[in-house]
């Protein structure tokens, strides 16, 4: 790579990063967002104060997502935690034309077929919410407490593979964080490296 | 090619699983967007090394031990080794920074060989290379990515006797080159430290000569923000990196492990001790 290109790349990255500087840090207020779900309803994080909120980044073509949906692991988590009052939002930030992009109608049929149990599916093809949280991979998980503070940012669990068999015996970080926070304890493992495919943001902006 | 090669790879895996221990799977497996191959050869000093070779379609990559922002490293498990032999860990060749959209990965494009040293027992009753006894078989799992990712797995094997076969002269050279591309331990005379700031780590490496610029590759995950530009400065014998911290940093590490790749291409593994940590300990 030439020196000029390195400098140009660095300058570009710096520009991008200045916009992300305070992306989504554990212990700080979770960035507020307004999104649209697959039924056309507006979802605002600020309106969800008083509840635990889970954000799950999704791309149906990603084999790491396939591991958690193919094994039924993600649906089990959704069912368990929404059953305990958690608002579970599946966010799709794939840009139009990119892997994982899905229309509202397709999303409903697809998640029904998967027997999913999230509260809502947010369609984020411009990547606004994704960039706000610096969501890097699918899956990438965030947990927000009832005060609106981010309490977990990272992977689903501690087995960064695409093998369905690895779901058994894995330590699930999202469940661990919710369990601890619901019983008033600090979250022991509040960050981890999110593992998965890169989020398929649009190439511009 | 996609479906057919998947079927072939799947057949190879199935064969390895169901056949008796004596059966040896094919040495080469065609995956999707990648050809995976097992080679082994004697090296100078009589050591025996194996290597899993990945040949990737243009635009596709596999990952280093720390994959960076996404993906995951190849995994190799030894399903068969001749009696008494043992295999070491993968020695990871120097990776490249691979930008995918706004993320940065560490990995390999084109071709990479992951060398592993095989240790033979000292007593000569064990199978020797060329004796015709036994085989080495690796179960390999990987994920290859371009803009999208495709996982794959295969069992690849070869009879121990082939290690001394004529073909292994070429293999010996390939493995020697792969081992040359593995970062060396930093010279003992160098001193590497890091200082923690609210947003960044500053890593300083005091070398035994005029320092040159380079790139830092973190060995441990979630320590630095992989996509952030690295601020690199050189002053006499000191090379300094200012590295933005990862949002996923679990706690201040006692040491930062990394590979420094100089503009000359030379690569060294360093272990930077925390200056702040040392101070608070001595207090």
The residue ranges of every structural domain in chain B are 2-182, 185-282
Q: Which residues of chain A neighbour B249 with C-beta distances below 8 Å?
A: 191
Q: What local confidence, expressed as pLDDT, does residue B60 receive?
A: 97
The alpha-carbon gap from B57 to the nearest alpha carbon of chain A, in Å, equals 19
Does the distance separating the beta carbons of A10 and B70 come in below 8 Å?
A: no
Distance CA A45, CA A203 (A): 27
Helical (H) or strand (E) element with A131: helix A128-133
User: Is the peptide bond preceding residue B276 cis, with omega within 30 degrees of 0?
Assistant: no
Kindly report the backbone phi and psi dihedral angles of residue A196, in degrees, each rounded to the nearest multiple of 5, phi listed first: 155, -160
* pLDDT bucket at B45, cuts 50 / 70 / 90: confident
Q: Which candidate in B70, B152, B223 is best for mutational testing of the A interface (most A CBs within 10 A)?
A: B70
Q: Which domains does chain A have, with CATH numbers?
A: 22-198 (3.40.30.10)
Q: Answer yes or no: same fold for B2-182 and B185-282.
A: yes
E strands present in chain A: 34-37, 42-44, 53-57, 87-92, 120-123, 137-138, 141-144, 150-154, 197-198
- B102 versus B63: which is more confidently predicted? B63
- B185-282 placed in CATH 2.40.50: no
Q: What local confidence, expressed as pLDDT, does residue B20 receive?
A: 44
Mean pLDDT value across chain B: 88
Q: What local confidence, expressed as pLDDT, does residue B167 receive?
A: 75
Between A10, A99, A189, which is nearest B229 by CB? Answer: A10
pLDDT at residue B13 tops 70:
no
Q: What local confidence, expressed as pLDDT, does residue A17 receive?
A: 45
* pLDDT bucket at B202, cuts 50 / 70 / 90: very high
Give me the mean pLDDT over the B35-39 stretch: 98
CATH of domain B2-182: 2.60.40.1250
Q: What local confidence, expressed as pLDDT, does residue A162 receive?
A: 96
Q: What local confidence, expressed as pLDDT, does residue B128 receive?
A: 66
pLDDT above 90 as % of chain B: 73
A 30-69 → B contacts, CB under 8 A: 61-64
Distance CA B9, CA B7 (A): 5
Q: What local confidence, expressed as pLDDT, does residue A106 receive?
A: 95
pTM: 0.86
A195 in contact with B, Cβ within 8 Å: yes
Distance CA B128, CA B160 (A): 7
């Amino acid at each position: 790579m030439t020196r000029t290109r390195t400098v140009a790349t660095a300058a570009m990255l710096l520009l991008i990063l200045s916009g992300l500087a305070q992306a989504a840090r554990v212990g700080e207020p979770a960035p507020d967002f307004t999104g649209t779900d697959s039924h056309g309803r507006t979802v605002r994080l600020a309106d969800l104060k008083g509840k635990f909120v889970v954000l799950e980044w999704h791309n149906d073509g990603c084999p790491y997502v396939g591991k958690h949906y193919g094994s039924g692991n993600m649906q089990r988590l959704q069912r368990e935690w929404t059953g305990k009052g958690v608002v579970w939002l599946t966010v799709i930030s794939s840009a139009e034309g990119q892997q994982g992009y899905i229309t509202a109608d397709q999303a409903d049929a697809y998640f029904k077929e998967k027997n999913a149990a999230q509260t809502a599916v947010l369609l984020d093809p411009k990547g606004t919410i994704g960039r706000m949280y610096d969501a890097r991979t699918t899956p990438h998980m965030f947990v927000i407490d009832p005060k609106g503070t981010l309490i977990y940012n990272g992977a689903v669990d501690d087995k960064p593979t695409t093998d369905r068999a690895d779901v058994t015996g894995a330590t699930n970080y999202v469940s661990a964080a919710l369990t601890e926070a619901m019983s008033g304890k600090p979250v022991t493992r509040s960050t981890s490296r999110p593992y998965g495919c890169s989020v398929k943001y649009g190439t511009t902006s | 090619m996609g479906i057919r090669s998947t079927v072939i790879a799947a057949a190879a895996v199935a064969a390895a699983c169901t056949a008796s221990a004596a059966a040896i799977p094919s040495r080469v497996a065609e995956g999707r967007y990648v050809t995976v191959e097992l080679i082994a050869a004697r090296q100078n000093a009589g050591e025996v090394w194996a290597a899993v070779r990945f040949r990737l379609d243009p635009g596709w990559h596999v990952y280093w031990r720390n994959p960076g922002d996404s993906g995951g490293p190849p995994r190799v498990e030894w399903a068969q080794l001749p009696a008494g032999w043992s295999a070491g860990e993968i020695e990871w060749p120097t990776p490249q920074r691979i930008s995918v959209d706004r993320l940065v990965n560490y990995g390999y494009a084109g071709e990479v060989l992951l060398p592993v040293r095989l240790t033979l027992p000292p007593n000569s009753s064990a199978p020797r290379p060329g004796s015709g006894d036994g085989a080495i078989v690796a179960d390999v799992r990987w994920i290859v990515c371009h803009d999208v990712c495709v996982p794959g797995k295969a069992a690849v094997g070869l009879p121990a006797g082939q290690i001394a076969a004529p073909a292994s002269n070429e293999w010996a050279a390939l493995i020697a080159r792969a081992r040359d591309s593995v970062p060396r331990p930093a010279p003992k005379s160098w001193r590497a430290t890091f200082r923690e700031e609210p947003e960044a780590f500053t890593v300083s490496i005091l070398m035994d000569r005029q320092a040159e610029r380079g790139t830092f590759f973190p060995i441990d995950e979630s320590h630095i923000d992989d996509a952030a530009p690295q601020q690199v400065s050189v002053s006499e014998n000191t090379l300094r990196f200012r590295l933005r911290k990862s949002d996923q940093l679990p706690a201040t590490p006692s040491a930062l492990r990394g590979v420094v790749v100089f503009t000359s291409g030379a690569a060294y593994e360093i272990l930077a001790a925390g200056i702040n940590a040392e101070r608070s300990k001595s207090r």
